Amino acid sequence: MSDDRVDFASMLASRLCHDLLSPVGAFANGLELLADEKDPAMRERCFELLEQSARTSANKLKFFRLAFGSAGGFGELVPADEAKSAIQGIIGDRAIELNWMIGSDPLPKPAVKIILNLSLLLVDALVRGGRLDIGCENQDANQEGSIEIALHVEAERIFLDADVETILRDGEGATAMTSRTAPAVLVQAVAAQNGGTVMLARETPSSLLVGAVLRGRG
C-alpha cells in the first residue's frame, strides 16, 4: 500500500474520530453524572442529555458509514431517502434549511459519496445557518449514464475552509491534505475514478455552487 493511501485513510479516520469525540464524550460524562446524582429532576435532565448524545452519535455513524465506508447493506444503488436522512442527521438542530431536490429513485454509490462529502463540507461552512440545496440528475436510465450533481448554499457568511475550496476547485494535489480537507480529496478521487470532474463557483459573497459530473468508470 502506498504512503499516499495510508495518509488518506489516516486523515479520514482522524476526521471521523474528531466528529464523534464530542457526542461520545458527552455520553460518558452523562453516565458519570447519573451515577452520582440523587435528585429526580437532575436525573431526568441527565437522561435527556444521554438520549441527545446517543442520537447525535448514531446520526454521525450513519452518515460516515455512507460517506466514508462501503455502505454495507446496500448494493450498487443506495435509496435516495437514506442519503437525505444521513444529511439531516448531521444538520441536526442547526439553523440550516435543507432543500432536497432529488427524486425517489436510488442513487449509485459514487454519487452518494460525493453528495454526502460535499454536504459535510458545506454544512461545516454554514456556521451561522443558511440554506443548502441539493440536486442530482441521471442523464441515462442505465448505471453507466452521466450523472450531474449540484449543491448550492446561501448564507449571510459562508466559512468554507480555504484549503478545502482550493482542492475542490483545482484538484486533490493542489494543497496539503489534512483531516479537514480529506472529504474534499475523497470527492475528487471518487469523481476521477468514475470519469468525472468537480467544479466550484462563488457566485456572490453569500452564494456558493459546488458540483460534479460522473460519466461512469473510465
Counts of helices then strands in the chain (DSSP H, E)? 6, 7
- Give, as one character, the DSSP assignment of residue 79: -
Task: Delineate the domains of the chain, giving CATH numbers in brackets.
Answer: 3-214 (3.30.565.10)
pLDDT for 33: 73
Residue that has been written with the C-alpha cell 476547485 in this structure: 169
CA-based R_g, the chain, Å: 19
pLDDT for 218: 41
pLDDT for 187: 96
Cross-strand partners of 214: 147
- Please write the tens of the pLDDT for every residue from 126-169: 999 999 999 999 765 444 568 999 999 999 999 999 999 999 99
Cell numbers that stand for 179 in this block: 483531516
pLDDT for 21: 78
- For the segment 62-86, the average pLDDT, to the nearest whole number, is 87
pTM of this structure: 0.86
How many whole angstroms separate alpha carbon 111 and alpha carbon 216? 11
- Give, as one character, the DSSP assignment of residue 104: S
